[in-house]
Chains A and B, each alone.
Chain A
Amino acid sequence: MKPFAEWLSQTSVSLAIQSHEWVIPTIQSIHILAICAFVGSVLMIDLHVLGWAWREHSLADTTKRFGPWIWWPLGVLLVTGALMIVGEPPRQLLAISFWMKMALVVSTASIQMTLVRRPVKALAASTFLVWLCVIILGRLIAYDYVWGSWSTWLKL
């Protein structure tokens, strides 16, 4: 992974992103705004499944209302995420927080999609909590040393 990260950081796209100080924080801010839209929409659907909101509507209605606000932000998250990886490859690719986060994103997104067909309350609550863990892991990428000796494993 380390040689790949080093190679990636020398590509012209990577150098272009690194060339101005404001580029990365701007991409990060857009990433955060997409998180807001994503989490808000997931919360609305999960609240419906739990019976705590949107009670006078059907789940199909609520899903139709908030579905686009989950998929489009997810797209923005993937694009801004990819740009951050290309801009600072070692920061993400050599962080165990990052890989844990990616594993959770893939698995939780899959489970989230089943909620429409089988609205299980425990699943709605637990997936929401896992999404919060995804946010925590995202922030911990900058503090990957908190994992102690685990975090050095990828840097070998």
Chain B
Amino acid sequence: MDLAAIPAWLEASTVATTIRNSLYLFALIESFHVIGVAVVIGTVLVVDLRLMGLASARRSFTAIASDVFRWTWIAFALAVATGALMFVTNATSYYVNTYFRIKMALLVLAGINIAAFELTARRSVADWDRDPVAPRSGRRVAALSLAIWIVVVFMGRWVGFTLSTTAAPLTDEIDLEQLENLIPK
């Protein structure tokens, strides 16, 4: 199958077309994407600060992780689902957008970062669970995690800013005064 044809095929799907032609669907999906991203980063922030010994240092790492991570994963699922729905509406445009590509690469890097944590510091967590600061590998993972998510937010905003995605459906007469308000940013 021709890989380059996949974005066009996705864009032509019923789901993509319905969202693209709706006055409000894309806006709502995007809003829920922001909610998902906010909770992911907000919860990751709590855990990363703990690893770096900058906050919640008196609580054990495993207690914090078990309290917090289920919300991270629920929110991440929401972010991925809404992200996929937005992607298909203009797949051919997003696919070639530099900022979108960097964002996706960073998400992969975040995943590798988590895997690295699981395979190193996490293995010996019983040793350092009650220490105010995690071992150096854990601190590195936390710092890299925060850096990645900060740049992801900037890239996400730049994707929206550089792509005029779904425009409101054109009407017979275009009011130039209103035109500026019709272009999503």
Contact = CB atoms under 8 A, between A and B. Distances in A.
Interface stretch (B21-29, B113-121, B132-140): B21-29
Contacts of B185: 91, 142
Interface string A58-100: 0000000100010000000000000000000011001000000
A25 B158 contact: yes
B156 to A, nearest CB: 8
Interface residues of A, number: 39
B67 interface: yes
B37 A36 contact: yes
B63 interface: yes
Contacts of A151: 181
B35 A135 contact: yes
B88 interface: no
B interface majority secondary structure: helix
A105 to B, nearest CB: 15
Contact of A25 (B71, B161, B180): B161
B35 A136 contact: yes
B23 A37 contact: no
Contact of A135 (B34, B45, B181): B34
Interface string B147-158: 001100110011
A26 to B, nearest CB: 8
A17 B79 CA distance: 31
B23 to A, nearest CB: 6
A interface majority secondary structure: helix
Which of B23, B31, B158 has the most C-beta atoms of chain A within 10 angstroms of its own C-beta? B31
B24 A146 contact: yes
Interface residues of B, number: 41
A8 interface: no
Contacts of B101: none
A32 B45 contact: no
B30 interface: yes
B43 A29 contact: no
B35 A36 contact: no
30 contacts: A25-B157, A28-B157, A29-B157, A36-B37, A36-B40, A36-B42, A37-B42, A39-B38, A40-B43, A40-B46, A43-B39, A47-B67, A52-B67, A53-B68, A56-B63, A57-B59, A69-B55, A90-B180, A136-B28, A136-B31, A136-B34, A136-B35, A138-B34, A139-B27, A140-B27, A140-B31, A144-B181, A145-B178, A146-B24, A155-B177
Interface of B: 23-24, 26-28, 30-32, 34-35, 37-43, 45-46, 55-56, 59, 63, 67-68, 71, 149-150, 153-154, 157-158, 161, 168, 177-178, 180-182, 184-185
